[in-house]
């Protein structure tokens, strides 16, 4: 099936050490779909377009290695309609934060990709009969 092409209102582009390795990791570990690959000047993959869901696209490109951990302070977040725990089981080896129910009425977990970029996958709201104001009030009591 051909991927749908559409203008993307916003998307992250990550510079990674090995585009092929990262592309395979995103697809096999997290279930991202491959949209297309553009070759770089050396004939190897220079840029890969991946998709988690419609309007949740990710571009990875070849980038120089850096001495410090890449992506410090940046987290890419993705909504999960269902199957969060099954996805977490696939990605267990890369956990930064175990799956858990959070005070903001969601269940999530975080992983680090091969270059150290953090991704958080969130499913929620867990309780649909709770107002946003009630969630905020409960979270503020925990501080």
Question: Would you list the domain boundaries of the chain?
Answer: 1-65, 67-143
The band of 96, judged by pLDDT with boundaries at 50, 70 and 90, is very high
Digit-coded pLDDT (tens) for 16-51: 989 999 999 999 999 999 999 998 888 888 899 999
Query: 126, 105 in Cβ contact below 8 A?
Result: yes
In order, the DSSP letters of 14-29 are EEES-HHHHHHHHHHH
User: Is the CATH code 3.90.1010.10 the one for domain 1-65?
Assistant: no
Q: Using CA atoms in the order 125, 76, 26, 3, what is the torsion angle rounded to 10 degrees?
A: 80
Residues 6+ apart with CB under 8 A from 34: 23, 27, 48, 49, 50
**pLDDT at residue 14 in the model:** 92
User: Is the CATH code 3.10.180.10 the one for domain 67-143?
Assistant: yes
**pLDDT at residue 95 in the model:** 95
pTM of the model: 0.85
C-beta atoms surrounding 90 within 10 Å: 14
């Amino acid at each position: 099936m051909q991927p749908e092409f559409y203008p993307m209102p916003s998307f992250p582009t990550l510079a990674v050490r090995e585009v092929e390795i990262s592309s395979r990791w995103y697809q096999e570990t997290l279930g991202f779909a491959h949209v297309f690959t553009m070759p770089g000047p050396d004939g190897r993959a220079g840029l890969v377009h991946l998709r988690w869901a419609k309007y949740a696209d990710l571009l990875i490109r070849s980038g120089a290695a850096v001495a410090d951990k890449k992506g410090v302070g940046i987290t890419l977040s993705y909504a999960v309609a269902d199957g969060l725990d099954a996805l977490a089981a696939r990605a267990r080896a890369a956990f930064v934060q175990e799956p858990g129910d959070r005070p903001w009425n969601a269940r999530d977990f975080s992983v680090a990709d091969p270059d150290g970029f953090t991704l958080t996958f969130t499913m929620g709201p867990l309780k649909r009969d709770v107002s946003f104001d009630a969630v905020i009030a409960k979270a503020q009591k925990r501080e």
